[in-house]
Structure 1
Amino acid sequence: MNDEASAGADADWARERRRLLARAHCIVIKVGSAVLTDADGLALEVLDSLAAQMAVLRAPGAGDAGGRRIVLVSSGAVAAGRAALASQGIDARGRDLAVRQAAAAVGQGLLMRAWDRAFRPHGVATAQVLLTRDDLRSRSRFLNARNTFAELLRWGVLPIVNENDTVSVAELKFGDNDCLASLLVNLVGADLFINLTSARGVCARDPQADPGAPVLARIEDVARLDLGRLCGAKTAVGTGGMRSKLMAARRAAQLGVPTLILRGREQDALTRAFGLVDEEGAEAPAGTWVDPARHAIPRRKFWLAYQSDPAGSVTVDAGAAAALMREGGSLLPGGVCEVSGSFQKGALVRVEHAGQPLGVGLTNYSAADLRKIMGLKRHEVAAILGDAHYPDVIHRDNLLLDAAV
């Protein structure tokens, strides 16, 4: 591509980005611990700045639909709790689960009070929502949660969401708030995901190894990124890091939703990104825009794929891999050559080939039964399991290829 064509493509992309920002009416904004906290606990001036900017985004006339609805995913409870406990001479550092959960119990109230104080001058009412993965894994609870968020947003209340760290056990944890935020994009029907972090954006190379690596202004296909080359270490106070942010962006992209990754402490980062700063010559902040996928997946498939962590895996042969990837087929028993893990019928499992992940899906067979019938044809399966068997190990309607897990 020559320079003139490249400039034209950049201009087209910039216009498309402005269009998508202008029409966004429901936004999930996630703020990381490294943005909200410092050595003394919550950085209240940062919360004040972000609350003021979100109030501007919500104001009537700020968006095409007359103001935007915002769902805020806020980290910082554990860090706030540790700082408060340290002031009492209690050492709550360390990665032990019980210590983290106890620190979260102390810090969650402090975090909500700080946000409520920050939003109050702008006339914005807030609501606390604490979730575990089980709240989204159960379809009935998922729908109840969706209805609750819809009512809060209809009232003009700003939901502030965090993982319910105090009661979460390992199998019910989201892992980090990047994951939680990406699942909320589906739950609330958001059309934009903003991730505020301590980094400048996504760097072209691992910034830990190459501090001078430039920031990528745009990622056209997040699924094709080499995360090992791009991602450095986690932040000192958080649980995520750029890898988890890109995985979250990848999930959002599958829904047809773009992601904007910004440095949260940059002056007026949010309002400048939307062109809502009155200062003459104010430019959009540096950061990374992640394009949505051209073809969005059904939201039901999204829910099935990310409702829980995979309980095991099935390895398929080359013929089955081709049928899944190129022909949109279902996975049959004859294509399975290895089963890993112990899982029951209906579990979410990984599908792999030659050591590479292909996707995830809901299995019609337990691991024990699948080991009995893998590699067999349909009549051979019937001879072992009887007539009450399924023709597919995973039906294509219950399979998501290229899943971000």
Structure 2
Amino acid sequence: MTRKSAKIKALPGPDERQPLLTARRRQKMARSAHAYVRGSASRFYAWLDSQPRGRLPEGPAVWIGGDCHLGNLGPVADATGNVAIQIRDLDQSVIGNPLHDLLRLGLSLATAARSSDLPGVIISSMIDALADGYEQAFDDSRSDATKKAQRPDVAKIAMDEALHRSWHRMDRQTIDNSRPAIPLGKRFWPLSDAERVAIHALFESESAPRIHAALTGRTNAAPKIEVLDAAYWVKGCSSLGRRRYAVLLNVDDTCPSDGPPYLVDIKQAAAAAAPQRDGASIPRDNAKRVLEGARHLTPMLGERMIAARLDGCTVVVRELMRQDLKLESERLSEDDAVKAAHFLALVVGRAHARQMDTGTRAAWLAELGKGREESRTAPPWLWRSIVELMAVHEVDYLGHCRGFAHDRPSR
């Protein structure tokens, strides 16, 4: 047996994945309070559900991201390669209260700042900047020229890497350069025969024309799509344990002579933890819900996605473009933290504002500012909510760490 085949044989099979993925998720969430926040959307919504009615603003019914933490924002490319910082993960998207995205982002920023050992004075300034950046998106009295935020270093670095990221670098990170195959190991695990058959069937099914159109921008009633390789993808935090696959495709015989293979992400769509507005018209199929949320919030991403079924499971299929990155924000500087709060709040605000007419934007802007004592400070409800959320999540995080430490096998 070769060293490579022995390594593959040592990787977990489909029946062994779940406990390993659960343990990995718990380990990731134990790394820092910020990591815990990223993986605990359900805890965030439990706190919101506990708040008395009327204590927090009730925004207009629009599509929201539902899980707007820092890791779910970053550079996103459209089908032609244009890049912008957008909401990049829509698993939790629903028609709901836009306030939820603002609070989720504020909690994530504040815990990232604490994980970076930044003082409370900076967090106070971040929350003020968060309010100002978000409100800018709804203020029609300000020109587009003034609705600009200074891009923080975390965004500059990510954008620079996205714009200059080459396929050669993408290959080193994701696929074997010597042949069109996915290297099995820590990130990619082997498939079962049934999974491999199901993935091949997906690209030969009635969804194939829609997949082809999303990948190429061209309509073809009889598309030619060849599955070169596929693997189970160990990726994410809150989604660990769901079905997730990386697939290499040769489309219309363009690989390898006309370029590298298409790298496609197949991700199971599960029910959202984010509460939806009563009476809202939302697709019952979770993959279609995610797709609809992307089309409203991040059209650059939505145009590249399709909803499909894989062996009876609802999934979202999209090409992974080399420009798609997440923001790395484990170490924020004092200056960058405040800039990041303002800039990212404006990004989220614009995603909400484009769904509202003039009167709705004005009414929501007025509602956001209720109780504000000074024009440049955050309203009291926003400060109080983020501080309370930080306290709740810190307690839960320490409890998670204690349980994780006790459950780890002794060395």
Pair in the same fold by TM > 0.5: no
TM-score tier (shorter): under 0.3
TM-score by length of 1: 0.20
Which protein has greater RCO, CA pairs closer than 8 Å, 6+ apart?
2
Larger radius of gyration: 1
